[in-house]
Amino acid sequence: MKFVDEAHIKVAAGNGGRGCVSFRREKFVPFGGPDGGDGGHGGSVTLRTREGINTLADFRIERTFRAENGHPGGGKDMTGRGGADTTVIVPVGTIVRDSETGELLGDLAKADMELLVAKGGKGGWGNQRFKSSKNRSPRQYGPGLPGEQRSLELELKVIADVGLLGLPNAGKSTLISAVSAARPKIADYPFTTLYPNLGVIACGNQRSFVMADIPGLIEGAADGAGLGHRFLRHLQRTRVLLHLVDILPLDPNADPVRDAQSIVAELGKFSEDLLAKPRWLVLNKSDLLPEDEARAKAVSIAKALKYRGPAFLISGAAHAGTADLCEAVMRFIETGEAPAQGNLPLPVVVDRKVAIASRPAPTKAARKKSASKKPAKRKPAGRKTANRKSVKRGAAPKRAVKTRAARKRSARAPVKRKGRGRR
């Protein structure tokens, strides 16, 4: 079945039934009076989620959904039958918006959830509703209110615990096929994956999680390069992102560090919330190099990226390191705590600012000791005083020689004259 994650549909609720105009005609009853019944209510349109559906492809064929109109009322105070409701089945994770106003009507993120999108019209009143002391034989009736009509936009965001992120040919499809029963298309050319794939990874007895593989991103995806970043919406419901980096790309001009940084930049252009999600570094294709060289290459890439989270060195094709990765992800989903490091230990990078902030506060004795050491007072420049020891008894002290700057300051200073004070 073709994967479709966007659809436009129209829904129309049923109109209310018309009220009845009727009068009671019965033998031996001279004053019968009105007995027209009300019309029935129109049917409503409801969306309901169901598990097992992973696409909106059904809405490419049928795009208009209508509910039944209410039936008119009858004589003898009989109310008309209400119109049947219409239920539209949608996949779990569907977001519903109004096409005209852009209003978010609901987010159907769980199974068996229901959302009323178009309410049926109310049935009209019969003439017995209009009788009064002044109007004994009314002939008025209600025609019934029309049902709601809307144009809706359906947007599907797949429900997954883990999302795979990376360039084309980074090994995302190979990884999901190695750890789950999913069989996505795998080839030696870019953009092999054209739509998201889901795989269920089992990690023991009743321990499993769902992994989503989306088409690869390239630099400039926000501007429409490649397949764009329209598939990034499927990662917004995930709890952790696995950023796959090819340690030995086929292109000799490719730089794994620069490419990884471009992917992070595209995440920020799409959504700040997606950029703030936990993101683990997974260095793939370790089987292309000897073990020591692959480990050294992976460490150098992580150091160049200034990455400080858990890092994993795996090979999706050789199934090397995938068990450690799946177990760490499963533990994170169960407990919510990320591991300190993965199967690739990274050198500890000490941040100077963090180290200064983490220093213990000085004690009271240390503060007193530092306060007692007062710096020596320096004599002002350009001012020389006579040394008392060098002046002989009875001799006048020598006048201090003024510098050029001191002479200028004294020349600019205003002369204070003595005068009488104010009376």
Q: Residue 320 has what DSSP assignment?
A: B
- Which pLDDT belongs to residue 5? 81
At 273, give phi and psi (nearest 5°): -65, -40
Q: Residue 226 has what DSSP assignment?
A: T
Task: Sheet with 197-202: list strands edge to edge.
Answer: 197-202, 208-213, 162-165, 240-246, 279-284, 311-313
Asked if 36 and 141 count as a contact pair (C-beta separation under 8 A), the reply is yes
Q: Is the pTM of this model over 0.75?
A: no
Cα distances from 368 to residues 46, 356, 365, in angstroms, run 75, 21, 5
Helices (H) and strands (E) in the chain, counts: 8, 14
Dist. CA 31–CA 5, nearest whole Å: 65
Asked if 281 and 256 count as a contact pair (C-beta separation under 8 A), the reply is no
CA angle 386, 392, 394 (to 5 degrees): 110
Closest by alpha carbon to 244, among 160, 146, 163, 351?
163
- Which pLDDT belongs to residue 377? 58
Closest by alpha carbon to 120, among 42, 45, 19?
42
The answer to which of 189-198, 326-335, 363-372, 410-419 has the lowest mean pLDDT is 410-419
pLDDT digits (tens, 9 = 90+) for 169-208: 888 888 888 888 877 777 766 677 777 778 888 888 878 8
E strands, 236-372, are 240-246, 279-284, 311-313
pLDDT band at 395 (very low <50, low <70, confident <90, very high): low
Mean pLDDT of the region 28-48: 90
Kindly state the percentage of the chain with pLDDT values over 90: 25
pLDDT digits (tens, 9 = 90+) for 254-279: 888 888 888 888 888 887 888 888 88
Mean pLDDT of the region 138-156: 92
Average pLDDT over the chain, rounded to an integer = 81
Secondary structure (3-state) at 19: coil
Q: Is the dihedral of CA 382, 385, 391, 394 positive or negative?
A: positive
- Two tokens at 3? 């994967």
| Bridge partners (DSSP) listed for residue 9 | 152
- Which pLDDT belongs to residue 48? 95
Find how far residue 53's CA is from the centre of its chain: 23
Residue 131 CB neighbours (<10 A)? 16
At 349, give phi and psi (nearest 5°): -105, 115
- Which pLDDT belongs to residue 354? 45
Sole residue written with tokens 């595209």: 266
- Two tokens at 156? 């599907």
Amino acid, single-letter form, for residue 291: E
CA angle 241, 247, 248 (to 5 degrees): 140
pLDDT digits (tens, 9 = 90+) for 278-291: 889 999 888 888 98
pLDDT at 388 over 90: no
**What DSSP element (H or E) covers 326?**
helix 322-335
Asked if 83 and 144 count as a contact pair (C-beta separation under 8 A), the reply is no
